[in-house]
Amino acid sequence: MYVDAVTNLGSGFAMESFGRWMYRFRGWVLGLSILLVVGVGVVGFGVFGQLQTEGFTDDSSASTTVERVLAEDFSEPATDAFLLVRAPGGNVTEGSAAAVGQRLTRQVEALPGVASVRSPWSGDGGESLVNPQGDAALILMSLVPDEEKADEAALALRDDIAGTTDGVEVLAGGASVAGTAVAERIGRDLVTAELIAIPITFVLLLFVFGGLIAAGLPVLVGVSAILLSFGGLLAFAMATDVSIYAVNLITGLGLALGIDYSLLIVSRFREELRRHGTDVEAALGATVATAGRTVIASGLVVAVTMAGFLFFPLYFLRSFGYAGLVVVIAAVLGAIFVLCSLLAILGTRVNRLTVWRSSTEPRDTGFWASMARRVMRRPVLWGGGAIAVLVVLSLPAFGVVFGPTDERSLPADDPAAVAGESVRAAFVGNDASPIEIVFPSGQAPADGAAYARQVSQVAGVEAVVAPAGVFTGGQRVGPAPDAAALTSPGGAQRIVATSSVVPGTGEARGQVGDIRDINGAALVGGAAAEDADTIDAIAGALPAVITWVVLSVLVLLFLYTGSVLLPLKAVVMNFLGLAATLGILVWIFQEGYLTWLVGGFTVTGTVDTSMVVLTAIVAFALAMDYELFLISRIREEWLRTGDNEASVAFGMQRSGRIVTAAAILIAVVFGAFITSSVTNIKLLGLGVALAILIDATIIRGIIVPAFMRIAGKWNWWAPAWLRKVHDKVGLTD
């Protein structure tokens, strides 16, 4: 009777029949799977030459439009890189310092990847690029659209040109130089993280499974998923822009899902072997019909969650949607075909080379069953206390300040980070990073002087250079140095404002908003405006992302469980867990507490907007993974016995160990990213690790049994018309 209930969890006996078919053709299935993984993996390594280091801005934003207008109408393309020339105690426009500046200008103009150069020594009005003290100057460059040539130019600036000559110090920085440094560090850090994570993961798997053979299978599936994913990501990279950061998600999520799915399938296979004895075909059929079914359902849930990234206008975030989709498909394929065919070949030999014999014994009683019963005896006390803990942990999140991605994500001693900090120190209020205001042709204000006067009165604005003159504090202090250059041949008008406010802060974004409020026709650009537009773009897409993820997950969980209440509980609890995680991240990365835990970084008083979104979606997807693992076993027992409390205790015992093991293993995989020298990767690693551990302990260990005890039979309730829908198209019978 029990076996019938179990094997009927698929579409009739379809999944069991598929498992039996795989057993009969196990050699062919494994051979073809290996050929596919190796072939796709070899080709997929070409993806590293296709990935981009940018994508952090919205191409349709006002700040991006300003960049385009400046390049096309005013022949002043956006600055991609710079050289900071410093003559400590001297004057950069005189003597040997001036000679060095002239030589540097000619040198960078000759680089193949440099499209244009502006400097105090280029004879094109670059005198304002000297700081007020006269001991520092900037050489600004825009690079060619060709990514390879631009990267070569950035490397040449940093490695060949920067340095000290005749007492003059030259620092290289800017978005392209910083982006190249980030890409290099991520590549090295990725290898380091894997060298740390994989051995620790194997040791933990050995402890979980108790045998060398069984412990090696999840690692094999994870590596297969990663190799297949590289091929899938290459296909996306050949069709559209894909960020270099997507590789980190593929390695982390590939290992995570490979471990998750393998833990579930191998544990269930060993359990079925105990039931069926030497009948490996029957054991594999029952495993595929239950654990395999759960893996496919989990893959659907994780995939629709990761598809939420596709709603964002920034290709940096969309890249994680591409990576997420391919890695989920790869992990499911690896688990179903590679792993199951291996299990078919190994049969009872999966338990050989045992070093921890008790790990091979599935038990109906133990810590998790006892914990569940303890919680269910006082569900309000336990559940309320757990929720209170999560609320307290989430409190710092109410003070979150979002910020941009820039060179400060690099270690403080990185040359690009040093250059950026030096520019901020030397050019406060100067036009190293001005606010650019553009009026398209025919939309300039009738009284240009009045408008410029209003802009100069905005808090933090030091000076405004407009066709009508130079304005400070609401007063005209002189004529524009080159008024004709501020009006394009097509009639567009340009106004340049310098500010004492540091870009990338809430104050700078507020300043941009104040300027935009003066005249709605004005297009405001520059670093501060770009930051504001990026945050607005992400915030604007969030309602669609949340709606898509929540509705999709609710529908899929209902189709899997047949319950209305359990999917709602899962979504609400996951959001509460994410809030607690965000609170901890704010406390560490924004406020700077316990920075030694993650190896130290530059505290900017903000957290990176994009990385918080990435962490939240990945953690949400993995939490839903565990939800399915747990609920699937509870549902099986509920269908068999109809006893709510006994079903919860049984399901917690059989799946609690798997969920806990998976959570610890995934925390190791993502936690290894904390060793990265790039702050954003540290945040991702710590954030996902924390979210997963909170979910597996506080939420799955306490809140779920407390909730299910209180809800009782209502856990599995659905109105009659929805039950009919589930019976027809449900993911389980």
Q: Is the pLDDT of residue 15 over 60?
A: yes
pLDDT band at 536 (very low <50, low <70, confident <90, very high): very high
Tens digit of each residue's pLDDT (9 = 90 or more) over 675-686: 999 998 999 999
Does residue 12 carry a pLDDT above 50? no
Q: How far apart are CA 506 and CA 627, in angstroms?
A: 38
Q: Is the pLDDT of residue 431 over 70?
A: no
Same domain, 591 and 561: yes
In a domain, 508, yes or no: no
Please answer whether residues 194 and 140 qualify as being in contact, where contact means their C-beta atoms are separated by less than 8 angstroms. Answer: no
Q: Is residue 549 part of a domain?
A: yes
pLDDT at 687 over 90: yes
| Closest to 147 in 3D by CA, of 64, 84, 80, 72 | 80
Residue 668 shares a structural domain with residue 561? yes
Furthest-apart CA pair in the chain: how many Å?
95
- Digit-coded pLDDT (tens) for 559-575: 888 889 999 999 999 99
Q: Is the pLDDT of residue 451 over 90?
A: yes
Specify the pLDDT at position 133. 85
Looking at this protein, which amino acid is placed at residue 26? Answer: R
CA distance 555 to 161: 58
**Above 60 in pLDDT, residue 8?**
no
Quote the pTM value. 0.86
Closest by CA position to 618, among listed 588, 578, 646: 578
Smallest CA-to-CA distance from 263 within 637, 663, 636, 632 is with 663
Percent of the chain with pLDDT over 70: 95
Mean pLDDT, range 328-335, rounded to an integer: 94
Q: Does residue 73 lie in a domain region?
A: no
> Six-digit token pair at 81?
């890189």
Q: Are 666 and 598 in contact (CB under 8 A)?
A: no
pLDDT at 376: 94
Task: For residue 432, give Cα distances in angstroms to 118, 136, 501, 513, 705.
Answer: 12, 11, 12, 21, 58
How confident is the model at residue 710, as a pLDDT?
A: 93
Same domain for 218 and 347?
Answer: yes
Q: Is the pLDDT of residue 4 over 50?
A: no
Lowest mean pLDDT among 176-180, 284-288, 670-674, 725-729: 725-729
The C-alpha atoms of residue 24 and residue 26 are separated, in whole angstroms, by: 6
**Mean pLDDT, all residues of the chain:** 87
What are the counts of helices (DSSP H) followed by strands (DSSP E) for the chain?
25, 13
What pLDDT is attached to residue 430?
52
Whether residues 143 and 225 fall in one domain:
no
Nearest partner of 235 among 43, 510, 505, 435, judged by Cα: 43
The pLDDT of residue 733 is above 70? no
Output the pLDDT for position 126. 67
Chain center to CA of 346: 38
**Residue-wise over 578-606: b if at least 16 C-beta within 10 A, else e?**
bbbbbbbbbbbbbbeeeeeebeebbebeb
How do strand 136-143 and strand 81-86 relate by DSSP bridges?
antiparallel
Confidence of residue 143 (pLDDT cuts 50, 70, 90): confident
Confidence of residue 159 (pLDDT cuts 50, 70, 90): very high
pLDDT of residue 429: 58
What residues make up the domain containing 221? Answer: 2-49+180-405+533-729
Rounded Cα gap, residues 333 and 337, in angstroms: 6
Residue 419 tokens, joined: 């250059």
Q: Which of 18-32, 136-150, 293-307, 577-591 has the lowest mean pLDDT?
A: 136-150
- If you average pLDDT over residues 444-458, what whole number do you get? 94
Shared domain for 204 and 281, answered yes or no, is yes
Is there a domain that residue 463 lies in?
Answer: no
Q: How far apart are CA 649 and CA 375, in angstroms?
A: 10
Tell me the C-alpha distance between 351 and 362, whole Å. Answer: 13
* Per-position DSSP letters for 497-524, written without gaps between them: EEESSPTTSHHHHHHHHHHHHH-TT-EE
Tell me, what's the pLDDT at 352?
78
Domain boundary among 133, 149, 173: 173
Q: Which residue has the tokens 């060793």?
A: 675
For the chain, helix, strand, coil in percent to 5 are 70, 10, 20
Query: Are 216 and 208 a contacting pair, CB within 8 Å?
Result: no
**Mean pLDDT in residue range 55-64:** 88
- 568/610 same-domain check: yes
446 in a domain, yes or no? no
Q: Report CA 567 to chain centroid distance, whole Å.
A: 25
Q: What are the E-state strand segments in 489-604?
A: 493-499, 523-525
Tell me how far the alpha carbon of residue 296 is from its chain's centroid.
24
Total structural domains in the chain?
2
Please indicate, yes or no, whether residues 155 and 189 belong to a single structural domain of this protein.
no
Q: Does residue 361 have a pLDDT over 60?
A: no
Helix (H, G, I), strand (E, B) or coil at 364: coil
CA distances from 4 to 219, 389, 537, 651 (A): 32, 42, 52, 18
Residues 362 and 347 occupy one common structural domain = yes
96 and 155 assigned to the same domain: yes
pLDDT at 360 over 70: no
Contact (Cβ atoms closer than 8 angstroms) between residue 282 and residue 9: no
| Alpha-carbon span 360 to 294, nearest angstrom | 21
Last residue of a domain, one of 152, 173, 194: 173
| Same domain, residue pair 555 and 609 | yes
* Per-residue model confidence (pLDDT) at position 95: 85
Choose between 244 and 281: higher pLDDT: 281
Task: Please tell me whether residues 554 and 640 are part of one structural domain.
Answer: yes
pLDDT at 577: 95
Q: How many whole angstroms from its chain centre is CA 626? A: 20
**Lowest mean pLDDT, pick from 43-47, 334-338, 469-473:** 43-47
**560 close to 732: Cβ distance less than 8 angstroms:** yes
Q: Which CATH number goes with the domain that contains 108?
A: 3.30.70.1320
Domain boundary among 173, 203, 228: 173
The answer to which of 74-88, 161-175, 427-441 has the lowest mean pLDDT is 427-441
Backbone angles phi, psi at 116, to 5 degrees: -155, 155
Asked, for residue 456, whether it belongs to a domain, the answer is no
Tell me, yes or no, whether 390 lies in a domain. Answer: yes
Core vs surface per residue 261-285: b (16+ CB within 10 A) or e: bbbbbbbbbbbbbeebeeebbbbbb
The string of pLDDT tens digits covering residues 578-623 is 999 999 999 999 999 988 888 889 898 899 888 899 999 999 998 8
- pLDDT tier at 403, thresholds 50, 70, 90: confident
Encode pLDDT of 224-277 as tens digits: 999 999 999 999 999 999 988 888 889 888 888 988 899 889 888 988 888 887
DSSP 77-143: PPP-EEEEEE-TTS-TTSHHHHHHHHHHHHHHHTSTTEEEEE-TTTTSSGGGGB-TTSSEEEEEEEE
> Is residue 474 domain-resident?
no
Residue 602 token pair:
């530059």
Question: Does one domain contain both 658 and 724?
Answer: yes
